[in-house]
Chains A and B, each alone.
Chain A
Amino acid sequence: MAPLIRFTSKGIYCPQADVYIDPWKSVDKALITHAHADHARRGHKGYLCHHHSINILKYRLGNINVQGIEYEKTININGVTISFHPAGHVVGSAQIKLQNNKESWVISGDYKIENDNLSVPFQPVTCDYFITESTFGLPVFQWEDQRVVMDKINKWWSHNKEQKVPSLISAYSLGKAQRLIQNVDHSIGPVLCHPAIANTNEAIIASGIKMKESHPIGDNYNNTEALFICPPAAIDSLSKKLGKSSVAIASGWMALRGARRRRNVEHGFVLSDHADWAGLNQAIRDTGAQKVYVTHGYSDIFSKWLNEKGIPSQTVETAFEGEKMVETEEV
């Protein structure tokens, strides 16, 4: 009997419903877990995503044919029941469940366990087959509480304010940036965002989500009380414009001293929108899956570990690129 899900050269495919999940080549029907570039690509005829992702997708991909769906709502295509479930990764991120009368699959996309106070928190979904990411699938990755990390960021920001130097922090424009906006202490000073982030914020707010106050940078380069948030790619040019500033990076990779030193950053805050080692293990146990497919990260190592723990597992080659090397853009 043909399995419900196949791994093809275009991406993860469900033949019975004729839909692809996060495909990397052009297809007719694409189900999108979330709006990050390595999951939501240009060129599909039709997109289906969580309705909070619609505006962001349109902002990023232009005028596409996209439909939205609520979490937990089901649709049925040719005997396959499809539903989206919160992944807690970024706003609108979803795990996608596909089920027929024989078996059920959950494609988790990217996920994190901790509540970031903006995206709907991760919920475990039981299934027979679970496809998991493993971006931080090594036992050295153990995240501290978000509150602890935010305390550190607030302290750094306040200290800079006292020293009269602007605080500049690099954070991915969808996810990390909003998480900072939601969780830093706004009594310290204003939060100013790079245009790429400000536009993403607008797309999110237009979807009916409330966010704490932030402003586009404009030409506000002299504000030493502000927290400037900008995407990793723009950090050099913005820091030049700011003159003397304190530069920080918020990323899971900052857990590694080597990664901090390589980027020559003075302040690396360990903050990730992916699950840490314990989180991945917990999530996988909670699905009750009889088999786990591992992608997107240290997949060989993590899969071997699961097998030893008695959870049958294998790696899936995907065209996800750069997940290990793009230290600050864990998308």
Chain B
Amino acid sequence: MKQFSTLFQAIESTTSSNAKISAIVNYFEQAQDLDKLWCIAIFSHKRPKRSVTTTLLRTWAAELADIPQWLFEETYHIVGDLAETISKVTPANKNKESKTLSDWIQYIIDLKELAEEEKKEKILYAWSALNSDERFLFNKLITGGFRMGVAQKTIVKALSRLLGQEENVIAHKLMGNWTPQNISYQELLLTEDQKHNLSKPYPFYLAYALDSDLQNLGAPDDWFAEYKWDGIRGQIIKRDSHIYVWSRGEELVTHQYPEFDALIDIPDDFVIDGEVLVIKEEKIASFNALQKRIGRKAVSKKMRTEYPVKMMVYDLLELNNADIRDQQQQKRRLLLEKLFLGISSEMPLRLSPLVSFSTWEELHDIRNNIRKKDAEGLMLKRKTGPYKTGRKKGDWYKWKVDPMTIDAVMIYAQRGHGRRANLFTDFTFALKDGDRLVPFAKAYSGLTDIEFREVSQFVRKNTLEKFGPVSSVRPELVFEVAFEGIAESKRHKSGIALRFPRIKRWRKDKPVSEINTLDDIKKFLSSD
């Protein structure tokens, strides 16, 4: 654990990705295969199944720290991280243990079958055998939610440097639903034949937001434009009479979308990239409709009739076992269109159409009228670009429709969690409805640190009432709140629900008397 803890500290104490890569390479040069494998798994957000509930961990930690449970909970609330809270309130280590990362993980896995008392004994022993930093890591392994501050890109680069393999190849090898329990380090990284894993997806290519004038992209003729659909990004794999559906979060979601089982009847094998949407009678339903399907394990017949999903397909990554990601966008598009010639409209696949345009001005107009098309904006793809790995600049851009905004007053503030443990960071905003104020949105991001401090200071001085971590605040500060979408909602007092609300800016120039009304925001409903 000492080595892994050193790696963790090294990663935490630098913001340079080069230094992080060196630290990882350094660890891999020393660690045993199984430790390496688990380390990669952790970086890829895979962890052993939880074998102890957090409730028990909290109880035992308070007991060991000799503090009342309520004090532990209050402290946890302020620190915002359970693993960290436990590691800091429990006493310094008195035992020494030379177990490595994978030993400790096995130790955690073995807890699963034990009775509660035995679990407790084992956990308390581990806490007493590890120092505070190691204790933190041990707790993270149990509770999950590990964010090591390392992008997938970084681990890919480190392995590429270590093994002398192309980054693309490594990224692909790390995809899929392997675990250290069903594969060895050798099999995962050192064999070239990856076909043993039929379900293995390709890393997604992610677009950058367009941040400059269209003119800077060069000639319009070098680019494809497509609609940017407001759905769930997905990858569908058909290999050897098997269908696999992957979400962008590298989650296998095949069973959530049984519609795609029908693809088995298509003669070709393929891997396609696109957006999963609810499409009923060739009409795209709102994101709210799709939300009914997200995360559902069992999908009833009624669900499928009411909210049928299809994929709007825009790229082809593999055709009959040949990886074609290196081919130009226009070539892949051609192959995709050819593939679609053989796909009947009974199938839950639709070809995402190209938007034709000849000048950038024309494209501007198209985007400005886009809301009716149920799309979030446009995608621009360079005709000669390959299908890259991860978020890379240059060939794919998303060009979103400007978000909607409204001026509202802050009425509640909540102390932040974790990284913002000492500031008020979560705010609830209200709009006018006659002479009442009606809360309608909660938003976090969008202020600078200095503004956060200023707002926090205001909250402290103008708190009317406290409900636990939440303070109700004198309604004086006006903010412009931006959001991506709006829908009617019976569950909310305001009667509306927003998508991605966020603070756009602090309107110090506006008095509360000038904020918008509930009726104002409802006007967006019809235009959406």
Contact = CB atoms under 8 A, between A and B. Distances in A.
Interface of A: 138-142, 253, 255-262, 264, 266-267, 298, 301, 304-305, 308, 321-322, 324-327
Given A258-B80, A258-B417, A266-B14, A325 B422 contact: yes
A259 B78 contact: no
A258 B457 contact: no
B151 to A, nearest CB: 15
Contacts of A138: 74-75, 78-79
B418 interface: yes
B52 interface: no
Given A255-B88, A257-B81, A262 B419 contact: yes
Contacts of B457: 321-322, 325
A322 B453 contact: yes
Interface string B405-423: 0000000000001111111
A295 B422 CA distance: 16
Interface in B47-97: 65, 67-68, 70-72, 74-75, 78-81, 84-85, 88-89
B423 A140 contact: no
Given A139-B67, A266-B15, A298-B78, A258 B85 contact: no
Contacts of A142: 88
Contacts of B84: 140, 256-258
Interface string B136-167: 00000000000001000000000000000000
A255 to B, nearest CB: 7
B399 to A, nearest CB: 29
Contact of A140 (B12, B75, B417, B420): B75
B288 interface: no
A179 B214 CA distance: 55
Given A142-B88, A266-B15, A322-B453, A261 B78 contact: no
Contacts of B14: 266
Contacts of B460: 321-322
B456 A325 contact: yes
B408 to A, nearest CB: 23
3 closest cross-chain pairs (CB), A and B: A258-B418, A258-B419, A140-B88
Contacts of B98: none
Contact of A258 (B13, B67, B81, B89): B81
Interface residues of B, number: 33
Nearest to A264: B15
A326 B423 CA distance: 9
A324 B419 contact: no
13 contacts: A138-B75, A139-B89, A140-B88, A256-B79, A257-B84, A258-B84, A260-B12, A266-B14, A301-B75, A305-B67, A308-B68, A322-B460, A324-B422
B419 A261 contact: yes
Nearest to A142: B88
A188 B460 CA distance: 44
A231 B420 CA distance: 21
A327 B420 CA distance: 10
B81 A139 contact: no
Nearest to B80: A258
A258 B425 CA distance: 13
Interface string B444-471: 0000000001001100110000000000
Interface of B: 12-15, 65, 67-68, 70-72, 74-75, 78-81, 84-85, 88-89, 149, 417-423, 453, 456-457, 460-461
B13 A267 contact: yes
Given A142-B88, A257-B81, A325 B423 contact: yes
A38 B85 CA distance: 30
Contacts of A322: 453, 456-457, 460
A253 B422 contact: yes
A139 B75 contact: yes
A298 B74 CA distance: 10
A141 B75 CA distance: 10
A139 B75 CA distance: 7
B453 A325 contact: yes
A140 B85 contact: yes
B79 A301 contact: no
Contacts of A301: 71, 74-75
A267 B65 CA distance: 28
Contacts of B453: 322, 325-326
B11 to A, nearest CB: 11
A148 to B, nearest CB: 12
Nearest to B74: A301
Contacts of A257: 12, 81, 84, 418-419
B422 A327 contact: yes
Q: Which has the most chain B C-beta neighbours within 10 Å: A138, A142, A266, A304?
A: A138
A63 B459 CA distance: 34
Nearest to A301: B74
A140 B79 contact: yes
Nearest to A267: B13
A42 B177 CA distance: 65
B419 A139 contact: no
A258 B15 CA distance: 15
Nearest to A309: B68
B22 to A, nearest CB: 13
Given A321-B457, A322-B457, A256 B421 contact: yes
B421 A259 contact: yes
A183 to B, nearest CB: 21
Nearest to B452: A325
Contacts of A139: 65, 67, 71-72, 75, 88-89
Contacts of B423: 325
Given A298-B78, A301-B71, A322-B453, A258 B65 contact: no
A265 B472 CA distance: 32
Given A140-B89, A261-B418, A304-B70, 18 more contacts: A138-B75, A138-B79, A139-B89, A142-B88, A253-B422, A255-B88, A257-B12, A257-B84, A257-B419, A258-B84, A258-B419, A259-B419, A259-B422, A264-B15, A266-B15, A298-B78, A321-B461, A322-B460
A258 B71 contact: no
B82 to A, nearest CB: 12
Nearest to A140: B88
B452 to A, nearest CB: 8
A138 B68 CA distance: 12
Contacts of B417: 258
B441 to A, nearest CB: 23
B65 to A, nearest CB: 6
B79 A266 contact: no
Nearest to B132: A142
